[in-house]
Amino acid sequence: MHDCLLSEEQRMIRDSARSFGCEQLAPRAAERDRIKTFPRAEMASLGELGFLGMLVSEEWGGVAADHVSYVLAVEEISAADGSIGAMMALHNGLITTPLRVHGTEAQKERYLRPLARGSMNGAFGLTEPEAGSNAFAIRTKAVKCEGGYRISGAKQFMSNGKSADIAIVFAATESDDPRRRITAFLVPPTSEGYSAVRVEEKLGLGASETCQVQLDDVFVPDDHVLGTPGGGYALAMSTLELGRLGIAAQSIGLARAAFEHAHAYALDRQTFGKPIIEHQAVGFRLAEMQTQVEVGRSCLHQVARMRDLGQPCKSEAAMAKLFASEIAEKVASEAIQVHGGYGYLKDFAVERIYRDARICRIYEGTSDIQKMIIAGALAKQN
């Protein structure tokens, strides 16, 4: 990475995240992946350093960083621990951002401030068992009642669904306009009728909690509607654009970590009387890996700068997420190949990184969904 392209503040934020990741997260990343316990202490530490309120104004407990600083920090934390990098991206992209953009003063005081400081954790409930990428197909219902709404339904793949302090839940309300039938609600998981019925066993991201959540006639008061009634679809789509930058940054962090482990191993491991990096097959493989990481990062930073300038970048964000998530899996796979049989062992970090990277092509919109967004933008060009 060329530091000359970054401001002093951006370098400081990156270096702070890198130090925290290397010193506090990386040494126990494999253990957290194995025991699969919600990393509440680590998240609180991230909050104390300002990494959970990066895009939140100082007025509400955040640090008001720019988007380039944000993706730099997510990359560094993800390089140290993919699970916590994923949680950091979720927290900043899908939890604090809709609250800071659409929340009322009272909602910000009650939830945004502690979320930005790390004393609260959030969950995001959009996906359902039969409604993944198609948000119009949401079946969870919110029925108007005196003083609020009664919500019933099920959410799938809900990050932090069991251990969060507040959840953003999307549900269908009555409307003749399909684009105005979805409403976002702030739902405390302690609410009667809210239950995390299953914590999923996953291929990777072991320390990141993924749940199936059941909502049975959960009462949510009117003042816990996030944004406007019927405005949930637009809220979700605008939020996911930023979420894709977070996943792209997570992908770059994982890919870079895999490359760095492979590079170090290739310098140390010797066969036929010389380090394996001097064998052309290995050297060329590492050259391609580094190139993919650098190109992915450059694309991501360009989109982050567009957001800082207030430019629309829906298609560009999809491109960044698509490319970064695809190369994360490829680079991690190649890192295992460089390690040979050792790369297949849990004793080596590249095994965990490979498992963590695989989800990046799926969540925040699959690679096919990103291609649909890009192709849709192309179809509108003259």
Residues belonging to the active site:
364
- With contact defined as beta carbons under 8 Å apart, do 351 and 336 qualify? yes
**CA–CA distance, 246 with 86 (Å, rounded to integer):** 8
Residue 371: name the closest of 336, 319, 324, 314 by CA. Answer: 319
- With contact defined as beta carbons under 8 Å apart, do 212 and 171 qualify? no
Q: What does residue 182 show for φ and ψ, rounded to 5 degrees?
A: -100, 135
**CA–CA distance, 215 with 24 (Å, rounded to integer):** 36
**CA–CA distance, 61 with 337 (Å, rounded to integer):** 45
| Helix (H) or strand (E) segment spanning residue 79 | helix 67-80
Residue with tokens 């990386």: 26
Which stretches of 229-339 are assigned E, i.e. beta strand?
A: 270-271, 274-275
All residues at 6 or more sequence positions from 129 whose CB lies less than 8 Å from its CB, including other chains: 154, 156, 212
- With contact defined as beta carbons under 8 Å apart, do 90 and 159 qualify? yes
Q: Which amino acid is at 309?
A: L
C-alpha dist (Å) from residue 221 to 103, 185, 188, 235:
14, 9, 11, 19
| Helix (H) or strand (E) segment spanning residue 137 | none
- With contact defined as beta carbons under 8 Å apart, do 74 and 21 qualify? no
Which stretches of the chain are assigned E, i.e. beta strand?
A: 122-125, 141-145, 148-159, 166-172, 182-187, 194-199, 210-221, 225-226, 270-271, 274-275
